[in-house]
Each structure stands twice: as structure tokens, then as C-alpha cells.
Amino acid sequence: MDSPRMRHGFEDEYNSEDYLAVLEQVFYMYYTDKRHETGGNPKQEPPGSQLIEWRMRDRLKTVSAALVLCLNLGVDPPDIVKTNPCAKLECWVDTLSQPASKALESIGKNLQIQYETLSIRTRYKQYLDPFVEDTKKFCCSLRRNAKDERILFHYNGHGVPKPTSSGEIWVFNKNFTQYIPISLYDLQSWLGAPSLFVYDCSDAGNIITNFNRFIEKHEQESLEQRARDPLNLNTTSYADCIQLAACSSKETLPMNPELPADLFTCCLTTPIEIAVRFFVLQNPLPSTLTLEQAMKIPGRLQERRTPLGELNWIFTAITDTIAWNTLPRPLFKKLFRQDLMVAALFRNFLLSQRIMRVHHCHPVSSPALPETHHHPLWQSWDLAVEMVLAQLPMLQLAESEDYNGPPYEYQHSTFFTEQLTAFEVYLQQGAVDRQPPDQLPIVLQVLLSQVHRLRALILLSKFLDLGPWAVNLALSIGIFPYVLKLLQSAAQELKPVMVFIWARILAVDSSCQADLLKDNGYSYFVSILSPQSGIPVGNASEHRAMCAFILAMFCRNFSQGRAVCAPPGVMSSCLAHLNDDNPLLRQWACLCISQLWDQFPEAKWLGIREGAHLRLCELVTDNVPEVRAAALYALTTFLGIPEMSEDVMKIEQTVANHVLYMTTDGSSMVRKELVIFFSHFVKRNEDKFLVTAYEQMVAEREALYSGGRPTPLPKTPDGTRDPGLTLTRTVSNPGVIGGGGTAFKNAQRPMDSAPRRSEGTVFGAVWQAILIMAVDPFPETAQTARIIVDYIHMALLDSPLGASAQVVIDDIIRGGTSFKSSFKLSLAPDTPMSAKESRPESPGTPNTSREGYFTSSLRRSASIAASLKNLALGYNGTSKEPPMSPKPQSLSRFKSERENDPDWNRPPDVNDYNNTNTNYHSAKEPVSKNFQPTDPEAVPSIPVQSKFMEWSIEYFREPQMKPNEADEPGSVDYNQRLWRRTRNDKIIIDTQAQKERAITTRWDHPRGLLNNLCQPTRLLFHQFEPYLVAVDDKDSVSVWDWEEGVQLSRFSNGNPVGTRITEIKLLNEDDVALLMTGSGDGVVRIYRNYESEQNCELVSSWRALTDLLPSQRSSGLVADWQQGRGTMLVGGDMKVIRVWDAPREMCMSDIPARSGSCITSLTSEQVAGNIFVAGFGDGAVRVYDRRLAPRDSMVRAWKDHKSWIVKVHMQRGGMRELVSGAATGEVKLWDIRMDQPVKSFNAHSKGMRNLAVHEHAPVIATGSTYHDVKLWNMNSYDFHSPLSTVKPHISFLQQNRSSPVTGLAFHPHRMMMACSGAGDNHISLFACDSRGGI
């Protein structure tokens, strides 16, 4: 027997290569982009991401140095007993090889030369065996000449006694017959601060101890002096003194004859020589290399390609890195980045710590440094020295005169290559816990080398990509001067990486603008931004987007930046990129233009000449919401040319006219930017909007007292109107109005036919758009629009029109009650806000006090705009149509239509909910992330400032190179997603076997009973999570865990009073699902964390249907979600089916429904998504194919049903059965290739209220008007009897009455069903057997 074939010919299609290719595509999640995660608002900065002050604001120079040598060669001090043999080298001069006087001169000269290798610009002065009088004189002279800069005082006390415990050092008298002590207290007074002291003598630690004690004494005396004489400001601070001492107290300097006597000085001033000597002396391995040979390494310290220069380069990198890894950041910055001399001495001091401790001395410093002799990088240093010494014999041989062999090529150290590899490994590990990399200072040194520069820059860019914390680290280590200097390089290969690095730096610290201006660094990026320039990288558009970002940041709040960027063609480059395929480039081209002409009229005129404003207006239909928002941001900054000439007014009005199109944009972020644009436009034309607002209120008053709708302002901004529309203006008569508005009730009252000033103008259209947006479903957009309306209305009351406006307002309040009672559908309450907040009264609510309407509104701490919703909507109804709506219809017409409708062509549930006990807004309404409600007491102020620029900048503060957390194997998000996928597969596999039992087993096994506390009208199971979503007849949404039988959350959807939730769907069900609700006012809302009452957030909301008509025939909003295509099909009381695209967040097409009746149900084929089916209120079922042009897309119409289509549904799985059910009880199965139904049967003789189709099993459930649910086997041939009949829970009091089935839903995979009945709050769960709910 052949197995049944799939309906509609889908079997062949699903076996095609195209379909299999679709299945292989990566599952795409919708409404999870950054704009949805953040609500379009900048994030709160996490700790550690704030900018750290990295610039050296207090950079100092060591301008003068006193080299004080107290040697008295030939005479040993009395407290020192020298060994024999003894160290005899001072500054590498043998003191015994020449007369004492000559030796002293040589030592002084050598010491100065050694210091000059550290700082050539310092002025050095030698003081050889000084007298006490000379010492005071030269110390005072040094401070006088140095002013506020640093002084170096180098003291060698090898020929004098040790420093005293009371704080004295020794010099000589003139005859060298006595040692004269100098108190450190006096020395401080002479030299002042800032100063740098180096003590090379035994017991040097005593000096530091007493020196610090005397500093405290000086500071105390200064405080006492200031207390005595507060006006004396000439007190000196001695705190900024840095000291380096050769050993601790009670330690004697080493006298090893193989080492210099001034070992500490040699470590500080000739580190390479002493380090090599130390290595040779400490090397335990046998070597033929003598100490004299080791000291003759060829090359120069300054040339990094020579052996000696390379060693010096490695030494600098290693000591810098050791200090970076061991010192607190502020101390590192002070000692290693503030002063070149101090940095060099402290780098070398780390070497002295290592060498001198071997000889039982422990160098001391102030500020104190931790022990660094054990740092592992010293082993790398030993290896580098060993590699050089291993090649030294061949190097020396090759340089000898009698060498005839081939030239010896020096093998460069692998140190930097290995350290870069270690840095690369660190980056590959993902910077765990944001631990700073040990190698960062080495990367800084590598930038000096052309050999390693490109690799180092690429690794540096990867590091900066980790986030602001990494940028802060790089800036604090001193990377900035290097990358600034590299902007002068013409190397093509450096351009992409330089652009990336600068983008990351400017995203964190925008203060680099002045640095880019200096030496024309900005022109580097101007040239790359140009479309004609070449950039050696595959994704050139992305790098140009970074250039646009860099130039935008360069111009931002920096007038000099704008001035220099305008002439070189930045504007034209950005305009050329507006057509680029890369959305990031389009976005930043817009934002770059915005920063270029923000508060810079010359650039705005340049833009006008180049048509920039018109080019930006073209982007209102861009496919990417961020680009649309960026275009709006740029147009907002365009407003405000100081000279408000007629030409400028026309240009700005043209721009406003173009952007009006975006009032119906599907992106909440775009609409928010649009309202901000309007706030600037309104502020710019405040007087005109005062008149417009006044005329709108007069029109509203007319409508209230004539029993109709207010006269709309222009249909289109260009002035064209519906020729059938009569615009009239009532003559204001305060005396008549004060009498209670009786004159307006007189139908014969003469009307003033004079046209309104705002009629046919862009101001009228913009004002209508603002009023519409004051009731926008997205709270932030509505709040911003209400600020504008409040501001204008308050300004109106303070204007010459204020008295007349107050009269109009009071009359609207009085007239609202009668109008509300004449039309049953009540006014929409406020836009979504917390349930705890007070809701404003509607204009239809009589004000208990006699004060003015606006004043009382403000005192109730509610928005004026929220209270004037009928100004925006035009009537107190469920619909919210835009200003450009079809010709209004009178209420009497709606009434006559309802009276003449046959019962079966009306919504079956029209009378179900008249007596329910639930209220609107009875639960918390979720708001968007980072939403900040305005202070109700705050006075409204415009223009409102946008945060879009800050939000966009965050893109360059976030990692872009590494994959998303959810795509990173091993991450928490990845593991969770993997678990969910495995769980989903298991559920699908486990439920496959149940399909056979579904058509042979009774479905009366009770699975649970849930008390929803309000009447459920729609039910929806999650495919994989144990969630059941239920909505009531108002605006409440409840989420249940059906396994545990507990309610997880309950929240309010926020739809207006008089409307209800008519559609619920789940998006992204395969992963973390989002909940979509559609309500009778045409609004779609999407929620995340819907199962958590505390964490539920509004992701997005928009008005998917803008032309819904108020009618008791209304089906509300019906929708179908196509996960595979990211498309939402939306229909209702409209003549079109609207196709909304989720990634673009815009309406892609309007497909004509080809019916005069309302759409009651939508379903579609879920894989390719081309075929969809609609059911209508007149019983028709129509099939559409999206591959065809919209006007030709209807490919089949079935009119076998003659009553309201309760539901039409195409299975996602199984045989893809297409089932329709009508209110009369008929159920039909269709094949879209056939004109007649495949099967047909009557499920209920007295009418059917609900229908559900299992997605995978051949089972249909039908709910009647008399409280029974029947289950049917689709594969049956006769349909004489159902599989089962069950009844939802019903209360005792309702048992004898007709109680229709209001909610009915199958679980998509499990053999489970949920149902509920009218007049009861319970949800009943049934399974086909005890295993049906596995």
C-alpha cells in the first residue's frame, strides 16, 4: 500500500536541491540585534571601561645634574676596612694605573659620559671631592637655574665615612684634613623639589630613612608657617623627591676585584656592560670566552640592528615589562613615563636589584619598589645574552684584519618574535578575566622595528578589539605617540591596521582630536575615505566606515576639526558612500556628515550645494534601520542655519516633508529619531506650530459638538486634499462657549468657511504625525512626542492665543462626555507605562475641578499629549490611523452596517466578553530596556537631544574580530544553545511514535487544570519549553508552566480600552523564544523574557496596520510568522495583507486581499514561505503566491464556505494539510492545486467557535458554541463520529447555559491539547493517553 503523499505538491519541492540548501542554512534569530537588546540607548558603562587618565599632564625633565664624587683617592675612610685584593674600578677607570688627580678627572668625565647615554639634554656638572662651602653654593645655584624642573644629585661617597644614623653625609674641608658632615635637612633646603638623588655608598639605606623623616619635618614647618601667616604662599614642598640607594642600612658595598667598586653606579649608567660581566661571572658552564672578550660586543647602543644595540633594546623591553607587571599603575606612570632620566635610572635599578643581592647588598628606593630579581623575564634576558656571546668569537674573528672567509651574518635574537607569539597565544585564549598581558610593553618596543612592526600592529589591533579596558591599558603603557607618528608613514600595508587601531582609540578617548590636527594626521583618514583611494584589504568598505567614524569623532564638538575637514572633500566622499552595499559604511557616512555640519553653517551650505540633504532623504527607505536612523540624525543636525531666509525655510520644509514617510516605520529606534527630528523642526518653527495646535483643537471642538470626527488637517504635506473633503472653521465665540457649548449642538449653526492657516502645509502634517506618535506603542517614542506636545500646548497657553485656547480646551472637556456615550468603543488610555504610575484621564472624562484642562493635567503629573489622544486618533475608538487616512466615515454608517449584517458574517465571539470581570492594565506593562521615564514635574523642553551618536559609537567599543559568545565553542551561551538543540531533537524524536496513537486513542486523558484568574480567549503552546501562553479578553498575558501547573508571569499588553489581543505567536522557538502579540488597534508588540514577571522587556512594537476601521465586524489584527524568512504577514479590517520584514523592520509590500470583507485568519507554508492562505469574514478562502507581483499574487479563491472563517491553518509538518473551518460548523480540507475541497464535513450543527490543527499528527479539534470540543481524524473517510469529545472546565453556575469554547490549541509536537470556555477562568489540558504529554 502506497504511503499518503504530501499535499499541494510540496513533496517534490521539499526534495529539491533548493529546499535542501535552505535546510542547511544557519538558523537565524530575529529581533536580537543590538538595537533590540539595548532599546536603542547607550549602555551603562561597566566598571573598568571608563577612560583612565593616560596623558602625562605633569611631564617633567631632569634639566640639571650634580655629579658629586667624594673619593679622595689613595686615602681610605676610617670606618671601612678594604679587602686585598679589592675592587679598584670607578666608572670603569683603574684608580691605581694613574696619578690620583688624573684618575679623579677621568672618573668624573666617564661618569658624565655614562649619564649622557641616558639623557643627552641634561646639563651635567662634576663636583670632584667638593668642600662644604662649595656644596651649598652649587646646590643653591642648581635649584635657582632649574626653577620648577627636576635636579639630579649623584653622590659617590666611597672616600668618606658612611652616612650617620642621624642623617648626615660627608664632604671635605679645603685642606682635606677633615671630613665635614652635611645634614640632609640642609641639603633638602638647598636643592628643594622636584629632585632625584642617587646614593652610591655603604649604609645608604640610612640616608633614605632620614631623608624621609626630614621631609615630614619640612612639611610640618610649612603647615605651621601657613597657620601663622596665611597670606604667605611661598612655602616649598619637598615631597616630590625620588631616591635610589646602593644598599640598605648596615650593609657594606661589595669589594670583589672582578667587579667595579661603584657597582651600583655601573648598574644605573652602563647596564649592558655590567649585565654581560655578571652573566660571564655567574655562568656555571665552562666557556673559552674571557671576561675581556665578553666586554667587546660589537655595535652601538643606539643602533638596534647591531649586537650591542639589540641587547640594549631587549634590555629596555624586559625591564619595562617587569616594571609594568609588578608596579601599581600610578607608580609605573610616575617612574617610567613622566621623565626620561627617571625612567632610565629605574629600569637599570631593577638590574641592580638582581646583581647586588648576589653580593649581599639590597638596593633601596623611594618610592619603594617590590623585589623583581625573580621575575621569569630575567631568564629570557640571560638567553639573549648567551645567544650574543655564543656568536661573539665568530663576530670578532670576522672583524679581524687577517680574516679571509665569507662575511659572518649575525643571527638576530628571537626574543621579540617569541614574545609576539606569546602575546598571540594570550589573545587566542580570549583574555580570561581581563588579565593584562605581560607582553604589552614589549609590543610597544617592537613598534620601533620595521621588521616586526606589521605583525605587532595586527596583534595590537586584536588586543584593542577586546574592549575599552584593553584600550585603556594600551594608552597607559604609552602606545599613543607611536601610532600618532605612524600616521606620517606612507606604507600601504599599514593602512588597514592603522585605521582599525585609531577607530578603537577614538571610541574610548575622543580627546585625541588636537593630536590628529597637529601634523595633519587626520588627512591620513581623509585620503582612505575617498572612493578613489586604494586600500589593500578585502573588506575595504568596513575600513572606510572606520575612517568615516574617525573623522566623525575628529569633528565632534571640535570646531577646528570641522573647519579643516570641509575643504578636502570629506562631504563628497561620504555622499559617494551612501550607495555602498555595506550598511556600516552608509551609517557612518551619514553620521560623519552630521558631525561635519553640526553647528557649522558653512558646511551646511556646502551640503546644500552638493544636494546632501536630498541624498539623505533618499535613505528613508533604506533596508537597514541603523542607516535610516543615522540619516535622520544627520538631517536633525542639518536644521538650524542661522539666517532663516525663504530658501532655507523651503529646504527645511522639504526635508520634513520627506521624513514624514517614516511615521509608519517598523523600527522603534527609527521612530524615536524621527520624533527628535520633529522636536528640532518644531522649535525652529515654534510660532507656526502654535497656530497649528490651536487650529487642531478648534477642529476637535467642532467634531465633538457636531457628532462627527474632527476635520483632518492636510491629507498630504504638499497641499493636495481629498476633493470630497470640506474643511470648515468655527468662529470662536467665547461667550457662547462659556454657556456649555449649546451653539455647537445646533446643526443649523453657520460655519466659517475661511481656510485654516495650517491647512495644506507641512506644519499641519508634522503636527498630526507628532500627535499620532504621542500614542506610539513604543514608550520612549511616545514619551518624547508627548514632551513636544506638552511644550507647544504650554507655550500656546502663554501666547496671545492663550485665552482662546483655554476656552476651547474647557469646551472639549465638557463636550467629551456626550460624545463618548454616543459611541460605545471607548477612548484609548495612555501608552504603556508601569501599573504603579497614574494614568491621565481622557478628554472624554469630565474634570471634577473648574480649573483649565491643561493646568489640571499637569498637576495630575500626567502628560497633556496623553490626554489628547483623540486629537491624534480623530475619534474615541479602537483604531489609530495616521493623518493621511481615507475619507472619514460617519458613525451612523457603522451603525447601519452592523444592523444589516447577517449573524454568520459577524465575529462569532462578538458577545462573549460583555460580562467578564477583568480590567484593563491590571498588571505591570513591560517597557524597553534602559527606558528612563521623564520626571512628571519637570517642565517640558525642546529640542530633545538624541543619544543615537553615543549608541553608534559603542559599536567600536565592542569586540568585532572574535565570534559572538553564542558561536564560541565552550562558552556558556554556546553550551546552552547546544543543550537546547539537543533537547529539541529529543522532543521531536520522542513524539514521533505518538502520531500513530493520536488517531486511534481517545483524547480524554486529563493532563492538568490551570486557574488563569481571567477568561482565556487565545492559547499557545511553546514547541519545546513547557510554556503555555494565555491571553484574556482585555490586555492581560499569562504564561504558565503546564508541567508544574504554576503561573510563571502575568503582564499587561497595554492595548487601548475597547480593544483586545487578537493574535499571539512565538518567534525564535528553536532557541530563546520571543512572544509576539497583536491587538485590535493594529499594533504588534514583541517581548523577551516573557516567562519572567521581573525581567520581561518590550523588544519592539509598531503599528503594523494603520488603516483599521472601527466596526463590530472587526477581526482585529491577524498575523502569521514565517521563521524561515523572518517575515510577518499581517491582515485584518483592511483591503491588503501587509508583509513586514523582521531584519529590515519595514513593510516590504502590500498584497491586495481582493475582497471587501475583513481577513479573519492567516496561515502559510513555513519552509519556502512563498504560499500563504487567508480566510475572510464572508466565508471565502484565498491562496496567494508571493513570487508573483502583488496585484497578481492571488492564485486561487474558494467560496464554498458561506460564513465567517473561524480559522484556516496549514500544518508545519505531517502531510501539510490545509484546513479551514467556518462559524456554521463546516470543516474543509484543501489542496491548493484543486478547485474543490479534498474533504468536507460538518463538525457542529449549532455553530463552531474555534478550530485547531495539530502541526504533525492528522488530528483536528473543533470547539462549538455549546461547550464541547470534538477531535477528528483527518485521514477518516466518513467523519460520522469524532475520535473523542471533551468539555473544558465549567463552573457550577454556568452548567445549564450555552458556553462557547473560547480558547483551543494543540501542542506542536506532543499529543496534548488545551481548551477553555466562556464564562470560566480555567484552562483544561487533555492528552491522547497517559503518555501524550511526554
Ranges of beta strands (E only) in 110-178 are 123-128, 150-156, 168-172
Q: Are 180 and 225 in contact (CB under 8 A)?
A: no
Q: CA of 973: how far to CAs of 32, 519, 525, 959, in Å?
A: 14, 47, 38, 16
Q: Are 326 and 375 in contact (CB under 8 A)?
A: yes
Per-residue pLDDT at 1067 exceeds 60: yes
Neighbours of 1092 (CB within 10 A): 13
What pLDDT score does 842 carry? 31
Residue 544 and residue 457: Cα distance in Å, rounded?
A: 18
Residue in the structure block whose three cell numbers are 640571560: 382
Per-residue pLDDT at 895 exceeds 50: no
What pLDDT score does 830 carry? 36
Nearest to 1228 by CA among 1173, 1187, 1185: 1173
Q: Are 315 and 274 in contact (CB under 8 A)?
A: no
Going by the DSSP 8-state scheme, the letter that residue 1055 receives in this structure is: P
| Phi, then psi, of 1207 in degrees rounded to 5 | -165, 145
Average pLDDT of the residues in 862-881: 38
Rounded to the nearest integer, the mean pLDDT of the chain is 83
pLDDT digits (tens, 9 = 90+) for 194-226: 899 999 999 999 999 999 898 888 888 888 887
Q: Are 1102 and 899 in contact (CB under 8 A)?
A: no
- In the chain, what is the straight-line distance between the N-terminal and C-terminal CA atoms, in Å? 31
Residue 630 and residue 772: Cα distance in Å, rounded?
A: 22
User: In sequence order, what are the residues at sequence separation of 6 or more whose Cβ sits closer than 8 angstroms to the Cβ of residue 453?
Assistant: 446, 447, 494
Confidence at 1334, pLDDT banded by 50, 70, 90:
low
Residue 1019 and residue 133: Cα distance in Å, rounded?
A: 100
Residue 840 and residue 984: Cα distance in Å, rounded?
A: 46
| Phi, then psi, of 400 in degrees rounded to 5 | -70, 155
Average pLDDT of the residues in 240-262: 92
Q: When comparing pLDDT for 1132 and 969, which is higher? A: 1132
Confidence at 1118, pLDDT banded by 50, 70, 90:
very high
Per-residue pLDDT at 573 exceeds 90: yes
The pTM assigned to this predicted structure is 0.85
For helices 686-706 and 802-822, what crossing angle results, to 10°?
40
Q: CA of 1181: how far to CAs of 531, 1162, 1176, 1237, in Å?
A: 53, 10, 6, 11
Residue 113 and residue 157: Cα distance in Å, rounded?
A: 20
Confidence at 1109, pLDDT banded by 50, 70, 90:
low
Return the C-alpha cell found at 214.
626630614
Nearest to 308 by CA among 334, 279, 276, 335: 276
Per-residue pLDDT at 1072 exceeds 50: yes
pLDDT digits (tens, 9 = 90+) for 338-397: 889 999 999 999 999 999 999 999 999 989 999 999 999 999 999 999 999 998 888 888
> Is omega for the bond preceding 943 within 30 degrees of 0, making it cis?
yes
Segment holding 423, helix H or strand E: helix 415-428
Average pLDDT of the residues in 565-573: 87
Amino acid in the structure at residue 484? L
Q: Are 430 and 962 in contact (CB under 8 A)?
A: yes
pLDDT digits (tens, 9 = 90+) for 324-333: 999 998 899 8
Average pLDDT of the residues in 970-998: 86
pLDDT digits (tens, 9 = 90+) for 509-538: 888 888 999 888 899 999 999 988 877 777
pLDDT digits (tens, 9 = 90+) for 132-190: 888 999 999 999 998 888 999 999 999 999 999 988 999 998 888 889 999 999 998 89
What pLDDT score does 707 carry? 59
User: In sequence order, what are the residues at sequence separation of 6 or more whose Cβ sits closer than 8 angstroms to the Cβ of residue 847?
Assistant: 813, 841, 853, 856
Going by the DSSP 8-state scheme, the letter that residue 1103 receives in this structure is: E
Q: Are 1177 and 1160 in contact (CB under 8 A)?
A: yes
Average pLDDT of the residues in 596-606: 92
Could you please report the per-residue DSSP string of 334-390? HHHSS-HHHHHHHHHHHHHHHHHGGGT---EEES-----TT-THHHHHHHHHHHHHH
Confidence at 841, pLDDT banded by 50, 70, 90:
very low
Neighbouring-strand partners of residue 1120: 1129
Residue in the structure block whose three cell numbers are 596665611: 230
What pLDDT score does 833 carry? 34
Average pLDDT of the residues in 588-601: 94
Confidence at 311, pLDDT banded by 50, 70, 90:
very high
Per-residue pLDDT at 19 exceeds 70: no
Q: When comparing pLDDT for 714 and 1221, which is higher? A: 1221
Size (the chain), residues: 1334
pLDDT digits (tens, 9 = 90+) for 631-661: 999 999 999 898 888 999 999 999 999 999 9
Going by the DSSP 8-state scheme, the letter that residue 609 receives in this structure is: H
Nearest to 1067 by CA among 29, 18, 231, 25: 29
What pLDDT score does 226 carry? 77
Residue 636, SS3?
A: helix
Return the C-alpha cell found at 40.
536603542
Q: CA of 282: how far to CAs of 275, 285, 378, 386, in Å?
A: 10, 9, 14, 12
Return the C-alpha cell found at 1269.
470540543
Per-residue pLDDT at 865 exceeds 50: no
Average pLDDT of the residues in 1012-1025: 92
Residue 592 and residue 571: Cα distance in Å, rounded?
A: 8
Return the C-alpha cell found at 116.
649622557
Q: Helices (H), strands (E): how many in the chain?
A: 44, 38
If 0-12 CB within 10 Å is exposed, 13-18 middle and 19+ buried, where does residue 1247 land?
A: buried
pLDDT digits (tens, 9 = 90+) for 744-796: 443 333 344 446 777 789 999 999 999 999 999 999 999 999 999 999 999 99
pLDDT digits (tens, 9 = 90+) for 822-834: 433 333 333 333 3
Residue in the structure block whose three cell numbers are 506638552: 790
CA dihedral 558, 564, 565, 566 (to 10 degrees): 110
CA dihedral 414, 419, 422, 424 (to 10 degrees): -100
